[in-house]
Amino acid sequence: MSDIKWEKKYEIGHERIDFEHQIFVDLIAKIDDAVKNEKDKKYIERLLNEFQAYATFHFISEENIMYSINYPDFEIHKKHHNELLDKYNQKLMEIDLNEQKVEDLIVFLKDWFVNHTLNEDKKIAIFVEGKYI
């Protein structure tokens, strides 16, 4: 399992979204570290719950930003957020804190973050650049 850390390539050029994305990366890394270092299962469970709560907050925050700028793909983007939360919740229900299942969830989160940020969130930046240039 590869480590995840904040990289400039994840920046979309919106200060608030970029800051919130950095917190996402930090949370994923924290969960990953807790599993690798065999931390207490209750602690890992708390981190997983923290991620869930933060994802909900961030998605609402990002959606409010998209709505305020009349982002044309708002509904599609919001649907992607809802799908992630649904998949995450489903995976959480399947986890009995079996280490392999938690590791699978971490891989899922890393892949999702990278793909969503580079492919979907970057579109927000492109829209803003085109709208305000």
Of 120, 129, 117, give the one whose Cα is nearest residue 76: 120
Q: Which CATH number is correct for 13-132, 1.20.120.50, 3.90.180.10, 3.30.300.10, 3.90.1720.10? A: 1.20.120.50
| Structure tokens that stand for 116 in this block | 């969503």
Task: Check residue 133 and give its pLDDT.
Answer: 41
Contact criterion met (CB below 8 Å) for 21 and 10? yes
Write out pLDDT tens, residues 12-41.
988 999 999 999 999 999 999 999 888 888
Q: What one-character DSSP code corresponds to residue 8? A: G
Contacts of 78 (CB under 8 A, 6+ apart): 59, 63, 66
| Mean pLDDT of all residues in 85-113 | 85
Tokens 């708390």 found at: 46
Query: Is residue 73 helix, strand or coil?
Result: coil
Share of the chain above pLDDT 70, in %: 92
Mean pLDDT of the chain: 90
Write out pLDDT tens, residues 55-71.
999 999 999 999 999 99
| Mean pLDDT of all residues in 74-100 | 87
